[in-house]
Amino acid sequence: MALTEPTVEEIVHHAATAPKGRSLWSDARRRFLRNKAASLSLVALVLIALFAFGGGFVAQYERGYVDFTLIGINSTQGVPSFATGHFFGTDQEGRDLFARTVQGTRLSLLIGVVGSLVAVVVGTLYGAIAGYFGGRLDSAMMRIVDILLSIPFMFVLILLLVMFGRSLLMLFIGIGLISWLSMARIVRGQTLSIKNKEFVEAAIATGVRPLTIILRHIVPNLLGVVVVYATLLIPEMIIYESFISFLGLGVQEPNTSLGALISRGASQIGNGVPWQLAFPLFFFVVMLFAFYFVGDGLRDALDPKDR
């Protein structure tokens, strides 16, 4: 059978009419968008982010502004209303709850995203290095993770906050210290199966340096798992921070977070000011639900097992 070389015109024509290739990620995006709960949650998250970062322009009061005339008569005068400009009512000190909820939501979101980012960077590198090199280095590195995981970290985090003062920085450091551990474990497991694939073998054979192999060939193939797990980690971090702030050990006044607001609202439930609990709680629960469904949707979209 005689094969003729295709002409340039033929090649161009072919390229123009050929069906567009579907990448893993575009496939995943289609699957994700078909999942109603996940897409809806993504919309909810965008709205919450808009609220957290743009709500300050809508607020009628500075979040630190104390309306002394309202103190003590909060349950009748501090009711949420558009007329007074206190959309979410006021808190016990006569401060605008809308402005405070905006700032609290922003802080909770930031904590979640930062904790998750630390997990992605540190955990991925740590796990990939341990898994790729294997042997004694692997068992030593994983033993360290095992030991750290078996320590009740919430208590150590509180210890840290008490010893070094309750600052936002310390909170970020503490949360960053915890978050990467299980990520490292998951990534290591994935790396173990990827490193025996042919393309890694080919890279080794052509003399690519180990670190380049990890960054160029292994990490990109881990991204699916990492993205899914990072999304599921965000609500976990938010819960951690809220827990600490609920105890009064986290964010300090005049700053606040959803956990601190819920704690203050919960302590006032007997005083006829239900909005002080309701609004922060609403944003907290919706945010966690949304992250949960988005993470779940991403897992369904990216996990090749369940197709």
Closest by alpha carbon to 172, among 229, 125, 118, 106?
Answer: 118
Query: Residue 96 pairs with which residues in a beta bridge?
Result: 90
Task: Based on the shown chain and the rule CB under 8 A, indicate whether residue 282 belongs to the binding site for another protein.
Answer: no
Query: Which is nearer to another protein, 215 or 285 (by Cβ)?
Result: 285
Q: Which of 85, 134, 165, 254 binds another protein (CB under 8 A)?
A: 165
Beta carbon of residue 162, minimum distance to another protein (angstroms, whole number): 5
Task: Output the six-digit token pair for 114.
Answer: 């930062």
Q: Which of 11, 137, 162, 211 binds another protein (CB under 8 A)?
A: 162
Beta carbon of residue 255, minimum distance to another protein (angstroms, whole number): 18
Residues listed for the chain: 307
The radius of gyration of the chain's CA atoms, rounded to the nearest angstrom, is: 25
Cβ distance 190 to 303 under 8 Å? no
Q: State the number of CA atoms in the 13 A half-sphere of 49 facing the CB.
A: 11
Q: Which of 89, 265, 295, 297 binds another protein (CB under 8 A)?
A: 265
Residue 38 C-alpha from the chain's centroid? 15
Query: Which is nearer to another protein, 28 or 288 (by Cβ)?
Result: 288
Helix (H) or strand (E) holding 166: none
Closest by alpha carbon to 280, among 65, 82, 27, 98?
Answer: 98
Task: Based on the shown chain and the rule CB under 8 A, indicate whether residue 242 belongs to the binding site for another protein.
Answer: yes
Task: Based on the shown chain and the rule CB under 8 A, indicate whether residue 248 belongs to the binding site for another protein.
Answer: yes
Distances (CA, A) of 224 to 26, 292, 302: 13, 16, 6
Q: Find the binding residues for another protein in span 138-157 (CB under 8 A).
A: 143, 146-147, 150-152, 154-156
Rounded distance, CA 265 to CA 157, Å? 25
Query: Which is nearer to another protein, 116 or 200 (by Cβ)?
Result: 116
Cβ distance 94 to 70 under 8 Å? yes
Task: Based on the shown chain and the rule CB under 8 A, indicate whether residue 15 belongs to the binding site for another protein.
Answer: no
Task: Based on the shown chain and the rule CB under 8 A, indicate whether residue 289 belongs to the binding site for another protein.
Answer: yes
Task: Based on the shown chain and the rule CB under 8 A, indicate whether residue 119 belongs to the binding site for another protein.
Answer: no
Q: Which of 246, 275, 279, 283 binds another protein (CB under 8 A)?
A: 246
Q: Which of 94, 176, 259, 295 binds another protein (CB under 8 A)?
A: 259
Cβ distance 260 to 241 under 8 Å? no
Beta carbon of residue 149, minimum distance to another protein (angstroms, whole number): 9
Helix/strand/coil for 96: strand
Query: Which is nearer to another protein, 37 or 194 (by Cβ)?
Result: 37
Beta carbon of residue 178, minimum distance to another protein (angstroms, whole number): 12
Beta carbon of residue 288, minimum distance to another protein (angstroms, whole number): 4
Query: Which is nearer to another protein, 20 or 307 (by Cβ)?
Result: 307
- Positive or negative: CA dihedral 260, 262, 266, 271: positive
Q: Which of 77, 93, 239, 303 binds another protein (CB under 8 A)?
A: 239
Cβ distance 118 to 181 under 8 Å? no
Cβ distance 262 to 281 under 8 Å? yes
Residues found near another protein in the complex (CB under 8 A): 143, 146-147, 150-152, 154-156, 158-165, 235, 239, 242-243, 246-249, 259, 262-263, 265-266, 269-270, 277, 281, 284-285, 288-289, 292
